[in-house]
A and B are shown apart, each in its own frame.
Chain A
Amino acid sequence: MFDFLAPATAEFLVELLITFVKVVLIVFVFVMGVASAMTLLGDRKQSAKIQNRVGPNRAMLFGLPFTRILGIPHFIADGIKMILKENTVPDGAHKGLHLLAPALVFAPSLIGWAGVPFMDFYCTGSITVDPNTYREICAVGPNGEPGVWRNYFQIMNFNAGLLFAFAIAAVSVYGAAIAGWASNSKFSLLGGLRSSAQMISYEVSMGLCLAGVLMIFGTLDLNEMARQQGYLLWGWLPMWGIVVQPLGFFLFFLAGMAETKRAPFDVPEGESEIVAGYITEYSSMKFGIMQLGEYVAVVFISALIAILFLGAWQVPFLFGDGFHFPGMETIEIPYIVVIVLRIGSMLFKILFLVWLQFMMRWTLPRFRYDQIMVLGWKILLPLALANLVVTAFIAAIL
Chain B
Amino acid sequence: MSAKKTENTVVVRKVVRRKMNFAERTYIPEFAKGLAVTMRQFFKNSQPNVEKRDTFTRMYPEEKTVYPDRYRGHHRLMLRDDGQVRCVACMCCSTVCPANCIHITAAEHDDISIEKYPSVFVIDELRCIMCGLCVDACPCDAIRMDSGEHIQPFGERGEAFLNRDLLMSKGSLSMAVQGGENG
Contacts and interface: CB of A to CB of B under 8 A. Distances in A.
Interface of A: 46, 48-54, 359-360, 362-364
Contacts, number: 34
A52 B45 contact: yes
Nearest to A250: B28
B83 interface: no
Contact of B57 (A53, A360, A362, A364): A53
B70 to A, nearest CB: 30
B54 A52 contact: yes
A359 B38 contact: yes
Contacts of B35: 359-360, 363
B31 A49 contact: no
A46 B39 CA distance: 10
Contacts of A51: 41
A49 B38 CA distance: 9
A171 B38 CA distance: 34
A364 B31 contact: yes
6 contacts: A48-B45, A52-B55, A54-B59, A359-B35, A362-B38, A363-B31
A52 B39 CA distance: 12
Interface of B is mostly: helix
A50 B55 contact: no
Contacts of A364: 31, 34
Nearest to A356: B35
B55 A53 contact: yes
Contact of A49 (B34, B41, B56, B59): B41
B169 interface: no
Contacts of B31: 363-364
Nearest to A54: B57
A51 B34 CA distance: 13
A325 to B, nearest CB: 30
B84 interface: no
Contacts of A360: 35
A359 B32 CA distance: 11
B154 interface: no
Q: Which 7 A-B residue pairs are closest in the complex by CB-CB distance? A: A49-B45, A54-B57, A363-B38, A52-B54, A363-B34, A50-B38, A49-B42
